[in-house]
Structure 1
């Protein structure tokens, strides 16, 4: 497989301003694979320690946090580590929060050593320590994008088309890409599920992988701190999947728990990167979210995981002429959410207005070149896009609205609208922000 984060991680390795790198993301999105199959090949020697399955390495970080002392302990079991020639990979670093603190000392006292750390549920560990702000870099890894999915299944030419301006795509190309997108809706972007589909050609094989991944996530629930009742966490997890695209009310996530308890469960699942909070925002100016909108929706980590939690079998795709009709369009909205996160940043926003006369909502707000664009995930004639037209009328700074649909590119300048094929998400933000976000600073 190929991940578009490979370019970023190689650039990190060759940078003169390199700092220890922490790869963040949910379990099983491919963090360890990226290090072992891409980065490790750039070095004479590769040393990996896993702080979850090899707890004896915790001792390296229990005493003095000087690189020499820590490496002496690690080398006793793992072998020689030579700065400049060896890649040191600390996997499942959340299992030993003090190891996260130790990264600052590798940066300050042994900057020539390449140190990479990875872990899931890192936000829980960050709450227990002083995070080395400004002394580490972060790579945020999401599930495989549709582009990466196409590369994985041998559709390289089609993948290249995704990065071209869609305005030049003939109807035959649009139809062919949307046919593959139908498969991605049910396979999703979890690397193991993609591999199972690539090897078997069966959506059912990917469906079985989703079941295994969800089971592993549920096994992790007991590790969440502060703890919440398992049944509450599990129910909120499943309910949020079934309500993608709808405003979240805590009291409705699990009827046998209080709104406060459901709130806590929702926040913990967001911390674990299993879901994403999509906050309402005023599109009158940047940065989005500065007004602290109280209404919000949820997006799941992965569309394949979502459809499994919703109980949607792969057979549901058969006979559906319009992708947006599958599960009332919620799969399409989920697809756009995870693509926007992977290509353009870590936060998602939408526009919502509550009024006595009528409520209005636009699915997402995109930012490109300093301008805000309201985005609807729909098909059909422009006259039915009442909320989008209202948003454009209410906020003159939003000069144009975008509609993602199961159809070709089309411009309607008289209505200030552009219709994009559903797969066009790489073009809906600042191109300089992808393939992934690599930054220094706060956690």
Structure 2
């Protein structure tokens, strides 16, 4: 297996080295984004030994949590189960698929309060879904949460052995200085590869190993099938049908000129009361990214959200390209395909989410629309996404004049540059924001 370098590794090591106030770790993320692999790598590189327990595939162990869940009792049981000593500070305990065992999640509270000397990390592909069950006793304030996303474009470059190109992109972004044309074209080509491959580790590994884009859809289809299997497993039969219908509608939703999610696209006569819970399920499972509409782009932007209006993006752009049926050659050649605008927008949404930004967009009485709006400190930043090198648009000017934004960003396939308060950033530089 090819080792994939992930940005979250540094935060995991910081968690491991924290001498005071360290709490059990809860790692969120969609299925197959690499949570288990990342925790196993942490154990191998930074601990003397690792105790790994999969609570979904090991019901006997999961059943032991039904009774007393004091750390002392659990540690004794785990030592017997894996036949090795668990040493505070030297052993990493991993509870995988923890959403399968409610009491295991509750036990993290007691590890925090009574046995903070142990390093306990838990992961689950459907934690967001699971902790919203009414009977769940979630250890609020007793765990440190992190979220792992698919590889972003910078991590993809690392996987492809292009660390120096990634560094040069960051340098040009910091100075808003055009990149050498030959490097710019190379980065554009790799960006187009990324749109097809996406950031799911299995797909990146396959492309790294074979260099064949034609093999990628088969791997992506397997991931999508696993998502569907999860829907059937963790939701009722009726809910599963509605969740799948919402999920399957995403390419069609993004293909519309107005990309606002419309329930009638899912089903004639569809409504929030019928499909609202399904949207929440997909969001909490990490399968989709929700981008809320802003009524006003003023500080603080979170209080001006229109909760009834939103766009949905897929959590991985490669999965969107595959699911939409967009031909790979259309992506590679950058041909004038209308849906490529939606693909570029999804890519930017994924990059912003991976950097910890909440997703918002803005519209003005149907006369202007801005793809994304960020708040950084007191600055409100408008972001426009263009799929190619044609960048004419009035929306960003309308937004800038109305809200006197410190600066705005336009993503496109044009090189780095700056005009007044408008930053021109190539799409491949989205990971810098």
* TM-score normalised to structure 1 length: 0.89
Corresponding position of 1:287: 300
1:279-318, aligned counterparts within 5 Å?
279-293=292-306, 294-318=308-332
CA-based RMSD of the aligned residues comes to: 1.9
Task: Report runs of 4+ in structure 1 exceeding 3 Å deviation.
Answer: 224-231, 256-259, 379-382
CA displacement at 1:320 relative to structure 2: 2.3
Please state if 1:348 is matched with 2:356. no
Q: How many Å separate the matches in 1 of 2:187 and 2:295? A: 34
CA displacement at 1:238 relative to structure 2: 1.6
Please state if 1:83 is matched with 2:91. no
| Secondary structure in 2 matching 1:120 | coil
Corresponding position of 2:166: 159
Which shifted more, 221-230 or 246-255?
A: 221-230
1:349/1:226 CA distance change after superposition, 3 Å: farther
1:321/1:164 CA distance change after superposition, 3 Å: farther
Corresponding position of 1:432: none
In the alignment of these two chains, the number of paired residues is 418
Corresponding position of 2:97: 92
Deviations 1:153-208 (A, max 9, x none): 12221122232233232222221111100100000000000001111101121211
Return 5+ residue gaps in structure 1 as ranges: 429-443
Q: How many Å separate the matches in 2 of 1:367 and 1:97? A: 36
Please state if 1:52 is matched with 2:52. no
CA displacement at 1:380 relative to structure 2: 5.3
Please state if 1:224 is matched with 2:234. yes
Q: How many Å separate the matches in 1 of 2:136 and 2:168? A: 45
Please state if 1:34 is matched with 2:38. yes
Return 5+ residue gaps in structure 2 as ranges: none
CA displacement at 1:316 relative to structure 2: 2.5
Deviations 1:250-271 (A, max 9, x none): 2222237554222222221112
Please state if 1:2 is matched with 2:5. yes
Please state if 1:246 is matched with 2:259. yes
Q: How many Å separate the matches in 2 of 1:125 and 1:236? A: 20
Deviations 1:363-403 (A, max 9, x none): 00123343111000025566x3211111112212x132211
8 Å CA contact 1:228, 1:264 repeated in 2: no
Q: How many Å separate the matches in 2 of 1:234 and 1:282? A: 30
**1:423 corresponds to which of 415, 418, 428:** 428
| Secondary structure in 2 matching 1:423 | helix
Which shifted more, 23-32 or 362-371?
A: 362-371
Structure with more relative contact order (C-alpha pairs < 8 Å, separation 6 or more): 1
Please state if 1:376 is matched with 2:388. no
